[in-house]
Amino acid sequence: MNATEGGDESALEVGPEAGPDAGPGRASGRDASLAPGADTGPEQGLEPDAELDLDADVEAEAAEELEAELDEQLEAEFESQAKPDAAHWRGLGKIVLAATPIGSARDATQNLHDLLAEADVVAAEDTRTLRELLRRIGVTPSGTLVSYHEHNERERAEELVARAAAGATVAVVTDAGMPSVSDPGYRVTVAAHEAGVPVTALPGPSAVLTALAVSGLPSDRFSFEGFVPRRPGERRRLFAELATERRTMVLFSSPHRVADELADLAAAFGATRPAAVCRELTKRYEEVRRGGLAELADWATAGVRGEITLVVGGATQADGGLDGRTDASALAARALELAAGGLRLKDAAAVVAEGAGVSKREVYEAALAARPAP
Task: Say whether pLDDT at 192 is over 80.
Answer: yes
**pTM (predicted TM-score):** 0.63
pLDDT number for residue 20: 39
Q: What is the mean pLDDT of residues 313-332?
A: 64
The percentage of residues in the chain with a pLDDT greater than 90, rounded to a whole number, is: 48
pLDDT of residue 183: 81
Poorest-confidence range of 3-17, 52-66, 245-259, 345-359? 3-17
The C-alpha atoms of residue 356 and residue 246 are separated, in whole angstroms, by 12
| 8 A C-beta contact, residue 148 and residue 184 | yes
Question: What pLDDT digit, counting tens, does each position of 258-294 carry?
Answer: 999 999 999 888 889 999 999 999 999 999 999 999 9
pLDDT for position 56? 63
pLDDT at 71: 66
Indicate the range of 200-204, 251-255, 359-363 predicted with least confidence.
Answer: 359-363
Structure-model confidence comparison of residues 46 and 176, the more confident one: 176
- Chain mean position to CA 142: 27
Which pLDDT value is given to residue 75?
A: 59
d(CA 23, CA 26): 9
- Mean pLDDT across 240-267: 93
Distances (CA, A) of 113 to 4, 78, 94, 133, 207: 16, 17, 17, 10, 20
72-86 confidence digits (pLDDT tens): 776 566 455 444 444
pLDDT digits over 34-60, tens only?
344 444 433 333 344 444 455 666 677
Mean pLDDT (the chain, rounded):
79
Query: How confident is residue 357, by pLDDT bands cut at 50, 70 and 90?
Result: low
Per-residue model confidence (pLDDT) at position 31: 40
pLDDT at 330: 76
Higher pLDDT, 35 or 300: 300
Residue 68 is predicted with a pLDDT of 72
pLDDT band at 355 (very low <50, low <70, confident <90, very high): low
Helix (H, G, I), strand (E, B), or coil: what is residue 224?
strand
Q: What mean pLDDT is predicted for residues 282-311?
A: 94
Half-sphere exposure of 362 (CA within 13 A, CB side): 13
pLDDT of residue 201: 93
3-class state of residue 292 by DSSP: strand
- 28 vs 252, which has greater pLDDT? 252
First-residue to last-residue Cα distance in the chain: 45
Other beta carbons less than 10 A from residue 91's beta carbon = 12
Helix (H) or strand (E) holding 264: helix 258-269
What is residue 319's predicted lDDT score, i.e. its pLDDT? 55
Of 95-99, 113-117, 131-135, 339-343, the least confident:
339-343
On the CB side of 345, how many CA atoms lie within 13 Å of its CA? 14
